[in-house]
Amino acid sequence: MSGSNSSAPESPAPTPEALSLTVHSVPALAPQRRRLSGRLQMLLVLAVCAAPVVASYFTYYVVRPGGRTNYSDLIDPQRPLPEQVWHDLAGAPVKSSSLKGQWLLVSVAGGACDAACEKTLYLQRQLRETLGKERDRLDKVWLVADDAPVRPEVLAAISPRGAEATVLRVPREALAAWLAPAAGHVLDQHLYIVDPMGNWMMRAPADPQPAKLKRDLEKLLRASSSWDNPGR
């Protein structure tokens, strides 16, 4: 009698209900953890891919504002290339997005191409050539903003072998969704700089000074050298 009283009572066995709670509550967290882990991995991959682009732009626009002397006008915010269908000189459709993947130096003029147009196209060609080994990272683009025929001698002058220009017909109203002139000017009076992602981000002054405009191009190419390669 006394021995039975001095012994500690045994703990009751767990009930079936308690066991069932233990068994079924833990695995329910696993799918949530897997989903969270997958999202974190995806964000990490995107961050790694975008880092070089972000870093180059940050360096160019933010880190050294006091030491930066841009000759061309910075476009802020940048204006992305609209998804449109343009045409080559033979009338074949060309998606505007096909221009992405290269730095672009863009001119706008009618097909008749007067003396001012010829001067702009000559400057466009010479600027690219003076970039030396970096010239293959820059494409010349002439957007013909009317239906006038383009003179063969003009095409030959702007497209020497191995350095052909891209010439496309684009209505002026379509260009207004992307490019814009400075106040008091028209589209034809400027050269436009477009990054490889299709963002119009700089506009050269009317009748620009070649040496100063070349420095702008060199800065951009140097700032993007870690992520931009020649060719599309």
**CA dist 182 → 74, 136, 159, 175, 189 (Å):** 11, 29, 28, 14, 9
Statement: residue 31 has pLDDT above 70: no
pLDDT at 15 over 60: no
User: 182-202, pLDDT tens digit by residue?
Assistant: 999 999 999 999 999 999 999
pLDDT tens, position by position, 155-165? 999 998 888 99
Instruction: State the average pLDDT for the chain.
Output: 83
Q: Are strands 191-194 and 73-80 parallel, antiparallel or unpaired?
A: unpaired
Distance CA 192, CA 179 (A): 8
CA distance 46 to 28: 29
What whole-number distance in Å separates Cα of residue 109 and Cα of residue 191? 11
Structure token digits, residue 184: 């008091």
Q: What is the pTM of this model?
A: 0.73
Rounded to 10 deg, the angle between the 210-223 and 115-129 helix axes is 40
Q: How far apart are CA 3 and CA 57, in angstroms?
A: 85
Instruction: Convert the pLDDT of each residue in 78-109 to its tens digit.
Output: 999 999 999 999 999 999 999 999 999 999 99
Query: Which ranges of 26-132 does DSSP label H, i.e. alpha helix?
Result: 29-58, 115-129
